[in-house]
């Protein structure tokens, strides 16, 4: 089995953003030379998410609004007693997923209809990292 690792870096303009990273994951798969296997895509920060969904502006806005309703900013979170101010970002991150595994077939990501890979940022405006680990033959 072969493996290939790449790191993607993001510094978002906004505190909360959803970014389509499908193209960058596809590039990692191509560079790997792996034709049959899996690509693990994982956020390396506890206030970020990786998930699969549709590239459609309305659903992305719905996700942002839904996450805010379920885990709104609140200055009274217990986490804030440690000197932090991002308790809501920790909760938002677990609503979506920390990582995904995408099958690779014939050297390409093997998605269902409309599926793409997204990076969800919940406490942005600073440099964050995502690992893409491609494994297979």
* Res 20: pLDDT: 98
80 in any annotated domain: no
Our count of domains for the chain comes to: 1
78 in any annotated domain: no
Q: Which domain holds residue 22?
A: 2-72+85-136
CATH number at residue 39: 2.60.120.460
79 in any annotated domain: no
Give the residue among 122, 6, 106, 126 at the shortest CA–CA distance from 72: 122
Give the residue among 11, 30, 31 at the shortest CA–CA distance from 19: 11
pLDDT in tens, 33-67: 999 999 999 999 999 999 999 999 999 999 999 99
pLDDT in tens, 97-125: 999 999 999 999 999 999 999 999 999 99
Burial class (CB in 10 A: 0-12, 13-18, 19+), 124: buried
* Res 89: pLDDT: 97
């Amino acid at each position: 089995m072969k493996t290939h690792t790449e790191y993607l870096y993001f510094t978002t303009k906004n505190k909360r953003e959803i970014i389509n990273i499908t193209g960058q994951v596809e590039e990692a798969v191509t560079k790997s030379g792996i034709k049959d296997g899996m690509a693990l895509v994982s956020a390396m920060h506890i206030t970020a998410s990786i998930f699969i969904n549709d590239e459609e502006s309305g659903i992305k806005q719905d996700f942002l609004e839904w996450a805010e309703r379920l885990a709104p900013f609140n200055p009274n979170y217990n986490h804030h007693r440690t000197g932090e101010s991002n308790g809501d970002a920790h909760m938002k991150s677990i609503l979506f997923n920390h990582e995904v595994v995408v099958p690779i077939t014939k050297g390409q990501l093997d998605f269902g209809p409309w599926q793409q890979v997204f990076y969800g940022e919940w406490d942005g405006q600073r440099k964050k990292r995502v690992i893409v680990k491609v494994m297979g033959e």
